[in-house]
Structure 1
Amino acid sequence: MAEIGALRRGLTFWRRSIQARVVVSTVLLSAVVIAAVGWFLLRQVQEGLVDHRRDAVLAEAANETASANDQLDDFIGVDTDTSRQLEDLFAPLRDAGTARGFQVVLAGPIDAGGPLATQGPRFSPDDLALSSVPDALVVKMSTASKPQWTYTRITTTDEHGERVQGPGIAVASQIVLPADGKTYTLYYLFSLEEAAETQALVTRALLTAGGLLLVLVAILTWLVTRQVVTPVRLARRVAERLAAGELQERLRVTGEDDLARLATSFNQMASSLQKQIRQLEELSRVQRRFVSDVSHELRTPLTTVRMAGDVLHDARVDFDPATARAAELLQGELDRFESLLADLLEISRFDAGAAQLDVEDVNLVDVAHRVVDMTRALADQRGVAVLVQSPDHACLAEADVRRVERIVRNLVTNAIDHAESRDVLVRVEGDDQAAAIAVRDHGVGLAAGESAMVFNRFWRADPARARTSGGTGLGLSISLEDTHLHGGWLQAWGRPGEGAQFRLTLPRRAGQVLRQSPIPLVPEDSQELV
């Protein structure tokens, strides 16, 4: 678990730190470039060392062969013993090899054929293994007359009796022995240990220099990015404090470079936002105060007008038909005016942040049935049947029953008003985390984009359409505020000709965060699911 936590913290740091990503990316790219350059330099050094050593080896082998031929010329007509001439020829070559660091093998004659180990007579140093002479070179010399060379592995025996191998070059030359007139082969074995050591030294130097260079690049990159990232981090912290409401926060400006100019522009933007936010807050406060004052001040004249209207409405039977109708219209508009005034007062409480919940366990099934019973008269008047689909058990949620009933009543009356004489379905469902009520109608529906605007104050899809149910235009706005007060969701779906569905989702426990709703927002009979 500790390893997993450390890995997660590391990944989080990698995602959030642009400085770390820039440093790592720069170091990786630098490592690739250094590796490529180092490989190229090593190749050049290796080829240069080997080529130089090869040229020197071929020249020295040619000189030794020339000296051997000169010595053979002195043997002509002096001695006809083959073995003795071979020994006299090999001895100075062996001594020269010991002095100058190479090994010599004398073998032949070449018409003997076969591997070197089977050819005879042959002469070689005691500490040299004949396998140091490649078989391919022996075969080639059986047919070639010019000197040949190849790379090989030289195997020798040290003073402790252990076999030691190392890289080398084998050079072969032919000579004709005067004693028998046959052709013999001289094999010169030159070690490449010095070149290998030089190459190893260069490799270690390049690796050390490359490592130090990478560290230097990482430090420089970190320092450079720090100069850029640090002001950005400071700006982020200041922006977070501004977002949290600390509008007086500003960036410190030092210098006259681009970052300083950016900080100046940021401070100017923050000052402008602070000024506009304060203006908006003042305007909002004045607006809320105005709505609240007007709503309260209208109470007294509305009460007086209500009393007069009630008297006229009760006495309408004694009036002529036109006056009686006017009294009825006055009574209806007074009812609507009182509802509008109550909604305005409720909106002002929401705007002032004074709305509070009276939380208790609420059975949404009972709420749905009570609301349907309260709106039955309106539904009968519109020729609409309101049906309730609910589980057999209680569907409980911690909520304010008065506000929940108001939300559901607004949704049901709105559905009845737009159902166009078709059935309205009120569905109640719940799970372990949430409880929901969905109100589905099959009326005019909502056009694209209207599902987000339907909760705006005084908004109507068709401005020419009258509020036949006597609504104030604030019902859905108040319902949305009530839902937010509970920490719930109030969402709308609709399609022209398919009707609409409004879904209220409340958490089972007050303060619990909602993750999902037990009722899908898009109804099952929608064409979207076909």
Structure 2
Amino acid sequence: MIRLPTGLRARLVITFTLVAVGASVLVATIGFELAKGALIERAENSSIDLVTRELERIAFPVGKLRPGEAAPTTTELATVSTALSGPGRSVIVEYRNLAYAEGQLTMANVPNELYGRAKQGVVSQRKVIHDELWLIIGAEVYRADSGFPEPTGLRVFVFFPLHDEEAQLAALRTTFTQAAVVILLIALVVALLSARQVLLPVRRLSAAAQALGEGRLDTRLPVSGHDELAGLSARFNDAAAALELSVAELRSLEAMSRRFVADVSHELRTPLTAMTAVADMLSDEADRLPDAPAEAVRLVLGEIERLRELVEHLIEISRFDAGTATLNLEPVNVADAIQDCLEVRGWSDQVRVNAPQSLTVNLDPRRFDVIVANLVGNALKHGLPPILVSARGTENGLEVKVRDHGKGIPEEALPHVFDRFFKAGAGRARSQGSGLGLAIARANVHLHGGTISVRRQEPGTLFTVWLPHG
């Protein structure tokens, strides 16, 4: 199947070329037909003049003889034939029962229609005989010495070859063909140049749109002229300016929002420290209080812990937003790092670790600790035991997997689990956690240049982290 070109430039070139070719073919056809008609008309007129002039010179009596006149002989008919003959011609002279033919053609080659019309005057007709084109002139001689034209029965048929005219038409056809080829080439070149000129603003517009998409919001197009493309370029510039202004405003608002979150988080740290100290004192006394006050104290302690976690997460996420988060790589024993992370948080008894003791990778140990802590903490809060953490070295990095055996994350929630403040349902308590843990884990993974993914298991959920060799 032939595929048609779909590009605008190709369609412009093809359309322009087809129009040029169609116009040249039409002009060439009309010119050829006019030249052909002129050549045939000239040949007919000259042939008719020749035959008419020679027949007017006949001096011997024909037709109704007058007293003292003798009927024409074959010799006199031959004289007429000789006068009408020429190179390549054939002549037939017929008078009653006499006939004289000179040349290769005979009366059998005279069309019946022409033979009948020849009684009324000088007539002509073209006919192909033996694969050659001939012009046949037929005429009957009239005698007018009695005062009115009188048919004599003497008929003449002259066959004129049209070799020269056919050769001229063939040469003309070749000339027109060559001219058409030249016109086609010129049209193609002009079409290419015109398409290039017409599409130049379109290419500029495409490049400018790509630049905008890449973030170069100061991109503008030169505007020249007053045509539709100039108007389009001007409107593009207006849209780009409006977009640049809107993005600048959004960036300003985003920066203000980040500063606000960072400032609020840092400001909350001081009262939160005091609240934590008081909470520690209350925790020691909670067991000695009555049930109702003790329950209230434990509720306050839980909320203070959640608040502390939220503030720490907000401070951490604000560092990523501000672009101040950095990596401090050093050789890390992965199995020891995972065990230390679990022991510090008191999770060693709840999590099973499967990692080779000899596995050492260049990592930022603090950020690796945050990644593991957030994934394991998420599994402990929202999943069900057993919780499994496995690590293995690959050809180009480190792979860490965290698996729980709970009800799992709903399928529709999987694309959003790493979004900030997102909390899934399906058996997970929406009041637990800050909603920032997985977002912070992903940010730390990306800071290492790695990837993190999640998928459902039967049962449970599996998080997979890949970190490249540092």
TM-score by length of 2: 0.66
Do the aligned partners of residues 362 and 93 (structure 1) sit closer, same or farther apart at CA in structure 2, a change above 3 Å counting? farther
Does residue 269 of the first structure (1) align with residue 255 of the second (2)? no
| Structure 2 unaligned residues grouped into runs of 5+ | 63-69, 94-100, 116-124, 141-154
Kept in 2: contact 1:251–1:267 (CA 8 A)? no
Equivalent residue number for residue 129 of structure 1: none
Where do residues 197-346 of structure 1 align in structure 2 (5 Å cutoff)? 197-203=171-177, 222-223=196-197, 225-226=199-200, 228-229=201-202, 232=205, 236=209, 239=212, 243-244=215-216, 258-259=231-232, 262=235, 265-266=238-239, 268-270=241-243, 272-273=245-246, 276-277=249-250, 279-295=252-268, 298-299=269-270, 301-314=271-284, 332-346=302-316
Equivalent residue number for residue 194 of structure 1: 168
Equivalent residue number for residue 50 of structure 1: 36
Kept in 2: contact 1:291–1:348 (CA 8 A)? no
Kept in 1: contact 2:36–2:169 (CA 8 A)? yes
In structure 2, which of residues 310, 314, 323 is the aligned counterpart of residue 353 of structure 1? Answer: 323
Note the C-alpha offset of 1:472.
3.5
Do the aligned partners of residues 438 and 471 (structure 1) sit closer, same or farther apart at CA in structure 2, a change above 3 Å counting? same
Aligned to 1:445, the other structure's residue is in SS state coil
Aligned to 2:89, the other structure's residue is in SS state strand
Distance in 2 between residues matched to 1:212 and 1:402, nearest whole Å: 72
Equivalent residue number for residue 465 of structure 2: 504
Distance in 2 between residues matched to 1:316 and 1:333, nearest whole Å: 15
In structure 1, which of residues 29, 46, 65 is the aligned counterpart of residue 15 of structure 2? Answer: 29
Note the C-alpha offset of 1:356.
1.2
Equivalent residue number for residue 161 of structure 1: none
Kept in 1: contact 2:205–2:233 (CA 8 A)? no
Kept in 1: contact 2:405–2:461 (CA 8 A)? yes
Distance in 1 between residues matched to 2:42 and 2:199, nearest whole Å: 53
Which amino acid is the alignment partner of residue 342 of structure 1?
E
Kept in 1: contact 2:450–2:465 (CA 8 A)? yes
Kept in 2: contact 1:45–1:199 (CA 8 A)? no
Equivalent residue number for residue 141 of structure 1: 109
Equivalent residue number for residue 370 of structure 2: 406
Q: Percent identity over the alignment?
A: 23
Which amino acid is the alignment partner of residue 436 of structure 2?
L
Do the aligned partners of residues 448 and 58 (structure 1) sit closer, same or farther apart at CA in structure 2, a change above 3 Å counting? farther
Kept in 2: contact 1:253–1:263 (CA 8 A)? no
Distance in 2 between residues matched to 1:204 and 1:93, nearest whole Å: 40
Which amino acid is the alignment partner of residue 465 of structure 2?
L
Cα shift readout 1:255-314 (whole Å, capped 9, x = no counterpart): 98735752663365146325513531441353144135325xx24x54444444444544
Q: In terms of Rg, which structure is larger? A: 2
Note the C-alpha offset of 1:478.
0.9
Note the C-alpha offset of 1:31.
1.1
Do the aligned partners of residues 64 and 462 (structure 1) sit closer, same or farther apart at CA in structure 2, a change above 3 Å counting? same
Note the C-alpha offset of 1:149.
3.7
Aligned residues: 424
Aligned to 1:170, the other structure's residue is in SS state strand
Note the C-alpha offset of 1:373.
7.6
Cα shift readout 1:170-207 (whole Å, capped 9, x = no counterpart): 2457999xxxxxx9986431222333444445555565
Equivalent residue number for residue 456 of structure 1: 419
Distance in 2 between residues matched to 1:70 and 1:42, nearest whole Å: 44
Aligned to 1:451, the other structure's residue is in SS state helix
More divergent stretch after superposition (282-291 vs 471-480): 282-291
Distance in 1 between residues matched to 2:81 and 2:340, nearest whole Å: 124
Aligned to 1:411, the other structure's residue is in SS state helix
More divergent stretch after superposition (270-279 vs 459-468): 459-468
Note the C-alpha offset of 1:28.
2.4
Do the aligned partners of residues 48 and 426 (structure 1) sit closer, same or farther apart at CA in structure 2, a change above 3 Å counting? farther
In structure 1, which of residues 158, 170, 188 is the aligned counterpart of residue 134 of structure 2? Answer: 170
Does residue 489 of the first structure (1) align with residue 451 of the second (2)? yes
CA RMSD of aligned residues (A): 5.3
Aligned to 2:263, the other structure's residue is in SS state helix
Note the C-alpha offset of 1:482.
0.5
Distance in 2 between residues matched to 1:441 and 1:92, nearest whole Å: 122
| Structure 1 unaligned residues grouped into runs of 5+ | 1-13, 109-120, 125-132, 155-167, 177-182, 511-530
